[in-house]
Structure formats: C-alpha cells, structure tokens
Amino acid sequence: MDNPLLTPSTLPFGAPRFDLIRQEHYLPAFRAAIDEGRAEIDAIAANPEAPSFENTVEALEFSGSTLDRVSGIFFNLLEAESDDRMQEIAEEVSPLLTDYEMYVSLNETLFARVRAVWEQRDALPLDAVRRKLLDESYKGFVRSGALLSPEDKKTYARLEEELSLLELKYGKNVLDATNAFTLELTDEAELDGLPEYVRDLGAETAREKGRPGWVFDLSHPSYVPFMQFSARADLREKMWRAYNSRALGGPSDNTDACLRIADLRRRIAQLLGYATWADYALEDRMAKSVPAVRSLLDRLMAPSLPAARREVAELLAWAQERGYGEAQMQPWDFAFWSEKYRAEHFALSEEQLKPYFRLESCIDAVFGLATRLYGVQFVPRPDLPGYHPDVQVFDVQDAGGRHLALFYADFFPRPGKRGGAWMTNFRELSAPGGMEQRPLVSIVTNFTKPGPGSPSLLTHDELTTFLHEFGHALHGMLAEGRYPSMTGTNVARDFVELPSQLMENWAFEPQWLQPFARHWQSGEPIPDALVQRLVAARNYQAAYFQVRQLRFGLLDLAWHTLREEIPGQAGDDTGSCPAATGHPADVTDIETAALADFAVLPDIPGTCISTAFSHIFSGGYSAGYYSYKWAEVLEADAFSLFREKGIFSREVAASFRENVLSKGGSEDEAVLYRRFRGHEPDPQALLDKLEIH
C-alpha cells in the first residue's frame, strides 16, 4: 500500500497530502518511521569515527525526520479532526513513541558520544548557536535519565509510558465530556435575552444535530454568549454547572487521572533528583525556580485581589438595585450582569460590536498588520489541500517574494475538534545538510460559524484571540536558523507567549480598527464613539480577570509542587486510584487548599477546575500556567516601545523581529529580551497597563 505519510510530498513546499492521507495509513507509517529513526540512532552510536559535533550532536538533531513528519500531522489532527478511531490509534501509538524516546534518551552508547563532545566544548570551534545546541543536547539526556542506574532507567521508562497514556486519556475525557452535554430548547420563551446571532447559532446547531428548536453546547462560541445574554438564570446555572463539572464523575471522569498524572510527574522528578515536578520543569524556563514564580504571582495578586473583590461587590450592588435577589454574586450570574453593566456604563456590548467584525475583513486586517509591521504577504493557495474543507491555506512570503512558510487557518468548531484556540506546526524550520525546509504553520480556533444568510461575525474577544494565535504563528513563520529544536516557538515556555500577547494590543488601537471594521450589511465604518467606548472599557474588570488567571497559576503550582505521595497513588506502579483506596475527594481538597484564600465568587460544591484543566494535565503547560502572566509583564513593557515610537513603527517591528521572532531558542531568552528592550522587564508595567493600584 502506498503511504502518503512515508513518501515525501511532491506538492509545492512539501505541503502534506491531506487529500490522500487516510486513518489506515497512520499505524504503518508510525511503525516504519520508528524503525527508520532507530536505524539512524544506531548508525550515530556505532560510528567508528571519534565523536564530533557534526557526526554526533548535529546528526542527532536531524535524526527521526520521518517520524517528526508523521507525528506532526497525526497529533495535530488528533486535536482538530478527531474521532474514536483516531483516539484508538493514539493509544496504540503512544507506548511505541515512548519506547522510541527511551531508546534514544537512555541509549548509553549514544549518550557517551554526546558526553564526549560536551566535555571538549571549551576547546571546540563552535559559534554561540552550535554551543547552545551542544549544551541543550547534553542537558536533555541528563534530564531524561541518562545518568540513572540501570534499574532506575527501567523505572523511569515505565513511569513515562504510563504518563503519556494517561495524558492522552485525560484529553479524550475532556473532549468527550464537553461533547456529551447539550441544552435543547423548544420554547421560544426560553431564549429570552439572547441576541439574534446567538439564536441563529442555536438553531443551526439544532439542525446539524437533527434536533428541533435550539441547541446550545459547551463550545466557546455557544457557551460564552449564552452566559452573557440569557435572561434565564435557571438555564445559565444549568450551563455553568455542566461546564464547570466536565469530567468530574460520570463515564469521562478525570479525578483519578489528575491524581495519578500529578503523582507520576512527582515520582519522575524525584527520580531525576528534583524535589518536585515544578523544580524540574522550571529549570528550563526564564523563571528558573518556584520562588521566582511565587514572587511574580504574589506581587500581582497583592493589589489585584482586593481590587477584584471591589469590582464584584460593585457589580453585586448594581445588580441588586435592578432586582437581583441573591446575597452573593453567583458564578453563573456574573457574566450576565457584567455584560449588562458594561452595556449601561460604557454603552458597549458584544452585540453592538459583532456586526463590524466580519471574519473575512478580520483576516485581511490581521494579515495587513503583519504586512505593515514586517513586510510579509499572504498569498491564497486553494490548490493545496487542507485536512478539512474549512481549512484555508496561504503561502507566506517576505517583502522580496521569498517563501517563508505555508499557513493553515482552521476557524470553525465541529465535532471532533477540541475547544479553545491554538497555534501549531505540521513541520518545524530545519536545514539538514544545509537544505532549508521552511515551516508549515497552523492556527486553530472555534469562532462563530456563518449562519443562514449571514457571514461569520467575530466578537471582539474572538478578534483578540485571532491576534493572539497569529502572534504565535508569526513566531513560527518568521523563524530563521538551522536546527529545528531551537527555531520558531521552541523557546522557554514563559517566553513563548510574548509574541502572541503583544499582538493582542492592536485589538484596542483605533488606528488599526477603524479602517477595516465595517458593518457587514450596510458597509458603514464602525463609529468613532463606539471605538472610543471599546478602548475605555478595555480594563473593565481587569482585576477580576487577572485574579482568575493568577488562581489558575496557583492551582497549577499546587499540583506540581507536591513532594509526598498522594493518598491512593501508591508507588508500586499498580496504578491504584482514589476510588479504590477511599480518597475520592483529594482533587477538590487540593483545589480548596490552593485557592480558598483567593476567592472572589462563591465556591460551588460539585464543580472542579482540575478535571478539565487541559493546559496543565495534557497540554504542555504543567508547572507553566504562570507563564501567561510572566509574558504579560514582558508584553506590557514591550508594547510601551511601540507606543513611544508609533504603533506601526517599522523600526521597532524590525528590532522585535530580529531579536525575538527570528531567533527562536538560539540564545537565552532573557538576553534576547534585554537586547530588544534595553532593560529588564518590571511587573509594575502590567499593573500600570491594567490600572490596578
């Protein structure tokens, strides 16, 4: 059987043959690619020549390219175009990949060669980039168990395999739990308060599911506006409880998975000589240590928590004056009353803004911003296949016409696509043998779909999300360098959000908004007064949302600074779980201990953050959720330079491209930032931006 995953694509730029790839291709491709990768590793390890940077470190960096290609396609589609069979394949592949990773990282002969080169590092004629690759390669082996005893290596491999499978299971459970709930309405009176576009979305979802009336679900475009606008508190409560109890009990329960994942990570870290998983994870990040993270979170929390409580108290009093009968602001009522307050005090609502943000206009504007700042162009390539009919493909070119990347944009929700928004790569920038392969970059979102007779209209929040993910995409598309592990978004986790969060600033700049924001029906430009109200409302409830993010960071740290065995997670690799050992409340106990002192809304029994906290349990942000706030500090300071020089300053953009976007992880991130900005970042920059005092 011809396998398009194993045959280099003949399409322009090596674009994947999504039109030919079928599910039955994945397992054979993975097995063949793993065999090929093992053979490449064996050849490096058995090389009779003395170890050198070229024949060992560089050869290792470029090994496994076929496996990278297969993995890049499969795991991205597992998130964006999944079904039960894809999940089954993932479960079959996961132990094979873990075994391959262990074959590399615990290969004593290979490590001996890398170590031999590393020990000569000061005598070798290496430039800074190659020296960093050498250091990172050696450190990667050590952090993956290369210095462990033979018995501990077996334990490490066993724990890693179980962890990888559990992370997959966790993500599947969140997706299944999210998809399992729908709110089906057949009485038009139950739609009280919902704007026309939200009603249309509910009707379209009902048609897709073959149901009468209107259907609302837990996807972002459905859940968020329902909570903002529905005048039915009983229905808001039902939706809120469903969303905030995802994977807590029931067939997709994640309570055991949370406990076991945290305990496995703790055991792996301690096996490698670290006190906690957070100590292990932070070693490779800008923050470097748990105390540094806690210091940041504490410094931001100190003024933000009382300010957030004042915001909620003011909203409660305002709502009570208008008939709200609760003594406390209930969490399912917060978005509803917040939207009403914003509409009255700022004469602003998402319903007012949405008609001006037609998706196609937003795409042109976001691309145009990249052109204005960095000189890049986006040429549609409808001849190149996407993995779904909704996916749009663009050739990204520099000002001189040089090909920089292929860009895949996947905007709309559908079954089998996880919620949220993210940027990813199908292929990293690489230059094996000096032959450059430019990246294949993708952003995936869940924007409101076009309705009957109307286009896709974005909320302002969705436009901001678009800019955020596009910032990540620029980091990938504008990458320069040779080594894939050190280009694009392959940087410290707490640095990677800088380009994305920086881009969000333009969503509030009248100079950028007004030229493209036109009413989709009348063509009238967005009124100046509406833009001014949008800017004025930017920091509305900023303290509340800051505390919300800080709470997520604190919860992440709570899970990953555990030093002792979690009850029910015996260290004998039996996989025992709390349900079997009498500790079913441990998940909520950990949450309560971490967050009780930082509450701004009532805690509701029967709900849980951790069981659907995909970022930290299956999304790569373990002991790293704080990085959003770390990066916000960076971007607040960075954007102040654009404000000083002009928000479209090519001079500042060129410096940001040269010192940040193009460099990837080829240099220490703190050095890169100082080179761009001229000084260390200060958390006060973020507090000043948010007007929290």
| Most distant CA pair in the chain, distance | 83
CB atoms within 10 A of CB 452: 8
Does residue 469 carry a catalytic annotation? yes
DSSP 22: -
Cα 244–Cα 245–Cα 251 angle in degrees, nearest 5 = 150
* Tokens read off for 649: 């300053």
DSSP-derived secondary structure for 160-189: HHHHHHHHHHHHHHHHHHHHH-EEEE--GG
* Tokens read off for 351: 């319903």
Q: What is the Cα–Cα distance from 454 to 42, expressed in whole angstroms? A: 58
615 neighbors 621 (Cβ within 8 angstroms): yes
3-state DSSP assignment of residue 473: helix
Q: What is the Cα–Cα distance from 254 to 169, expressed in whole angstroms? A: 9
Q: Which amino acid is at 501?
A: Q
Cα Rg, the chain, nearest whole Å: 25
395 neighbors 381 (Cβ within 8 angstroms): yes
Task: With CA atoms as reference, report the closest residue to 368 among 498, 457, 470.
Answer: 470
* Tokens read off for 88: 């089954």
Question: In which residue are the tokens 């997706």 written?
Answer: 175
Distant-in-sequence, close-in-space partners of 461: CB < 8 Å, separation ≥ 6: 224, 350
Residue 682 phi/psi, 5-degree rounding, is: -125, 125
Alpha carbons within 13 angstroms on the beta-carbon side of residue 572 total: 6
Distant-in-sequence, close-in-space partners of 679: CB < 8 Å, separation ≥ 6: none
Residue 683 phi/psi, 5-degree rounding, is: -55, -25
Distant-in-sequence, close-in-space partners of 36: CB < 8 Å, separation ≥ 6: 64, 66, 67
Question: In which residue are the tokens 């709570």 written?
Answer: 558
Choose the catalytic residue: 160, 428, 469, 504: 469
Cα 161–Cα 167–Cα 168 angle in degrees, nearest 5 = 95
* Tokens read off for 91: 């479960």
* Tokens read off for 150: 């033979």
Give Cα 281 distance to the centre of its chain. 17
Task: Give the Å distances, CA to CA, from 555 to 550, 588, 616, 626, 631.
Answer: 9, 11, 10, 10, 18
Q: Which amino acid is at 634?
A: L
Which alpha helices (H) appear in 272-410, and where do they start and end? 277-282, 290-321, 331-345, 350-353, 359-374
* Tokens read off for 19: 């039109």
Q: What is the Cα–Cα distance from 393 to 15, expressed in whole angstroms? A: 10
Q: What is the Cα–Cα distance from 207 to 205, expressed in whole angstroms? A: 5
Active centre residues (catalytic) = 469
